[in-house]
Amino acid sequence: MAQGVEHFEEVAQATVASLPEAFRGPARAVLLRVAEWPDAAMLRDLEITDPLDLTGLYEGIPMTEKSVFDVVVQPDIVWLFRQPILAEWRDRGDVELDALISHVVIHEFAHHFGWSDEDIAAIDEWWT
């Protein structure tokens, strides 16, 4: 099974392409990045001590909070962290890797669309 960065990027792009049209257009404006690990600054900002606890991250201003008057310094980014995702996949043992990658992508894009972790948890049956 392909588990490299390229595979993660392909699954992430396919996931975005499969979104309903109303979401697909705005999602295309977000950069997708795959990194082996989250960097120290991300972990520090989120007060996370174990890098395995961060499988993905949305960096940007949610669409529900954006204004036409906002000065765009950098584009919004959805990060996927390969090693933490692989570790979770191995630990769970009950999901396909591509399904887990897609799940992380959808979760992070939900933040782009303005959903909080609590909003997502209220409807996300993934962890039940």
User: pLDDT of 84-101, one tens digit each?
Assistant: 999 999 999 899 999 999
DSSP element (H, E) containing 78: strand 77-81
Matching residue, tokens 């996949």: 89
Whether 111 is covered by a domain: the verdict is yes
Q: Report whether pLDDT(128) > 50.
A: no
Whether 40 is covered by a domain: the verdict is yes
CATH number of the domain that 112 lies in? 3.30.2010.20
Query: Tell me, what DSSP letter sits at residue 35?
Result: E
Q: What is the pLDDT of residue 112?
A: 79
User: Is the Cα torsion angle 27, 30, 36, 39 positive or negative in sign?
Assistant: negative
Whether 42 is covered by a domain: the verdict is yes
What is the domain extent for residue 47?
5-63+75-120
Q: Report whether pLDDT(36) > 80.
A: yes
Regarding predicted confidence, which is higher, 32 or 123? 32
**CB proximity list for 83: less than 8 A, separation 6 or greater:** 36, 37, 51, 52
Regarding predicted confidence, which is higher, 127 or 45? 45
Q: Report whether pLDDT(67) > 90.
A: no
Whether 53 is covered by a domain: the verdict is yes
Neighbours of 40 (CB within 10 A): 9
Whether 128 is covered by a domain: the verdict is no
Total number of domains in the chain:
1
Whether 127 is covered by a domain: the verdict is no
The span from the CA of 91 to the CA of 62, in Å, is: 31
